[in-house]
Structure 1
């Protein structure tokens, strides 16, 4: 199958995206098996990351071999995993916790004042330092979360581009009926494909 220049560039993206998600989920799977972790959390983390890694392998094979069904399966699973991560990041930015409305959304809260008090315990800083530390810690947390959301938006853009590329490949593929009606002839040592007449 001959790809246009734009399709070839999107194919490169379709190869890179599953390769990066595969490496990320494999590393996260390995980190969940570290000693000292809660066994229940480690099991579900392993299931989640293992499923995402398997889908990434399917997406990688589909992009390399130009198999749109495998790429579509990858984009479906990656959409689900990316949705959970996006909701968790948005939840960390909001002043209230969305996990009460939907307990499936993962959430975490960091108590800035407790972290600053722990740091201050060894040095004996005054109350003004604790307030300044809490504000600075909150700003750092907000900056990291916003940076994560920018990267998340880039992943959503890449995922939509890969899904569109997969749909284009699906429409370009000849169906079985087209191949049955094709008339193959040899002209000057090359194959020529034409429509059969009198079918």
Structure 2
């Protein structure tokens, strides 16, 4: 399971996260929704071990990643909102850099994400959508039990967006846990739990039918 309890984080003088708590069980997809700038990306960076919280606790399957950073490495794959890839390296070299798998296992990842035809290309020659597919493939390459995804299908066309959604469904069907920030209605529909973030705090939404309306109201408050 994944549990975040009372996470707090300041950036300069501004308290971005004031009290963020979520829970996810094996086999669940967890959605984090909210207006732009509410702290979703900061929280996901903490959940993936990129940033440290000022206060609060994390638990991954009974382990404490904040006191043993190796837990992040071995249990969590992360796709940030920006591009994490090394632009001058090829697609194949980026995959090899991010993965500890043997060649045969890595070929399965390459096939799953339709990367075969672009393996020789340097990342800087890829479109935004291709880079997104590769980023998700790199995050998933080591069969980690937890995937943290920030707007996972941004810049993808309809065909590859659905292929990523299918991957998420398969991943959770194998008892993996996905935590993702999204505004996409089709991704919200994949979620077993949804947390709404506003002013640095989270609340779990029991009635998911009004999720998009809640996002709209949140945007209007910030306009």
TM-score tier by shorter-chain length is under 0.3
Give the number of the structure whose residues are more often helix, by fraction. Answer: 1
Q: Normalized against structure 1, the TM-score is what?
A: 0.25
Q: Normalized against structure 2, the TM-score is what?
A: 0.23
| Greater C-alpha radius of gyration | 1
Give the number of the structure whose residues are more often strand, by fraction. Answer: 2
Higher relative contact order (CA 8 A, sep 6+): 2
